[in-house]
Amino acid sequence: MEASQVKGVAAILGLVVLATMLSPVAASGSLGEADYYHPYPYGLVPGDIVIGHSPLTGIIIPGYWTHTGMIAYYDYSANDWVVVEAWNNPSEVRLVYLSDFLRRYDTVAVLRVKTSDYVREAAVEFALEQLGKPYDRHWWTKHIYGDSYYCSELVWAAYMAAGGPDLDSHPGFYWRYLDGVAPQEIYDDGNTYVIYYDSS
pLDDT digits (tens, 9 = 90+) for 36-59: 344 445 589 999 999 999 887 656
Position 24 scores a pLDDT of 33
Q: Write the pLDDT tens digit of every residue in 75-114.
A: 999 999 999 999 988 789 999 999 999 999 999 999 999 9
Domain spans, the chain: 3-199
Position 154 scores a pLDDT of 96
Position 33 scores a pLDDT of 35
Q: Model pTM?
A: 0.75
d(CA 38, CA 180): 30
Provide the sign of the torsion angle of the four alpha carbons 66, 71, 72, 75, taken in this order. positive
Query: What CATH number does domain 3-199 carry, 1.10.357.140, 3.40.30.10, 3.90.1720.10, 3.50.50.60?
Result: 3.90.1720.10
For residue 123, the one-letter residue type is A
Please give the average per-residue pLDDT across 5-27, as a whole number.
34
Peptide bond into 165 cis (omega under 30): yes
- Ordered strands of the 49-53 beta sheet: 91-97, 80-88, 67-75, 49-53, 107-113, 192-199
Please give the average per-residue pLDDT across 155-181, as a whole number.
78
Please give the average per-residue pLDDT across 126-154, as a whole number.
89
Mean pLDDT, all residues of the chain: 78
